[in-house]
Structure 1
Amino acid sequence: MVILLIEDDLIEVMKLKRTVSKLNLKHTIIEAKNGEEALVYLNSSQNLPDIILLDLNMPRMNGIEFLTILKKDEFLQYLPTIILTTSENRTDLLKCYQTGIAGYVIKPLKYEDYEYKLKAVLEYWNVNQLVKG
């Protein structure tokens, strides 16, 4: 599975990579530091990701702005997008689901809880029939 991770925090990127490695998953992770960088990748790549893991709080273009653009795009709107954030703001949650996300996961403070949640998310999407670019 190819995962596009849109995250500006280097520690969070390393944490995700560590978890994928520790769980012995063979997924490919493509990184983008913000929504603008992710859109450039998505619009120029021959191979689209299977899923997108998206942080909400980022500079330049936040997650909700990115999501709004993505879901209006005729070709990209079908990409399953899972929010991976620290935001427990109900307004963010509602806006994301209204825009068309596939899931909303709060990043826990404890690494063990993070690992558990990420494993569940990746296992779920690994067994889904995904739209291939």
Structure 2
Amino acid sequence: MRDYRVGDPVDILVVEDNPGDVRLTKEAFKEAQLSCELHVVTNGEEALDFLYRRNEYESAIRPHFVLLDLNLPKVDGMTVLEKICDEPVVRRTPVVVLTSSEAEEDIVEAYELQVNAYLTKPNTPDDFVELVQTLNEFWFELAKLPPIQS
């Protein structure tokens, strides 16, 4: 098991199919000057392969944190959340939904599937950087994360 300590580099799985949003996410993390490694997958099937360490992701690390879009090709974000709940090792990884959907039914369903937080994507790059800084402060400075099982 790997324990996370404040200031350690953070491995974050970003599950996002929109190249513009991926670029914005990378820029926001860089601008926020966070010590992190972003691992990007572009659909729900790849996200599950990464988390379950299968197919091309057999040697993938276990991320400290997952940023998950809901509107994904192949396997949608809600199904990814459902599958995460089914696996004891994977389900202890904090998952934050970061999506454009403000639909109440999506919010309710995500929380029923044990998402740790539900956020809507900011409209401006500056707001995105602020969101990333807030995520960092809460999840990696204030919150206590469980050890990661190898």
Distance 1:46 1:107 in 2: 27
Distance 2:97 2:145 in 1: 17
One-letter code aligned to 1:61: V
Using CA pairs under 8 Å that are at least 6 residues apart, name the structure with larger relative contact order, 1 or 2.
2
2:82 aligned residue: 68
Please give the secondary structure, in 1, of the residue aligned with 2:118: strand
**TM-score of the pair, normalised by structure 2:** 0.84
2:71 aligned residue: 57
1:12 aligns with 2:21: yes
1:96 aligned residue: 110
One-letter code aligned to 2:116: A
Q: Is the 8 A contact 2:28 2:125 kept in 1?
A: no
Deviation of residue 80 (structure 1)? Answer: 0.5
One-letter code aligned to 2:102: E
In angstroms, what is the RMSD of aligned CA positions?
Answer: 1.1
In structure 2, stretches of 5+ residues that fail to align are: 1-9, 54-58
Deviation of residue 47 (structure 1)? Answer: 2.4
1:113 aligns with 2:122: no
Equivalent residue in structure 2 for 1:77, among 91, 100, 113: 91
Deviation of residue 48 (structure 1)? Answer: 0.5
Distance 1:62 1:11 in 2: 19
Superposition misfits of 4+ residues, deviation over 6 angstroms: none
Equivalent residue in structure 1 for 2:144, among 93, 116, 129: 129
2:3 aligned residue: none
Number of paired residues?
A: 133
Distance 1:88 1:36 in 2: 24
In structure 1, stretches of 5+ residues that fail to align are: none
2:4 aligned residue: none
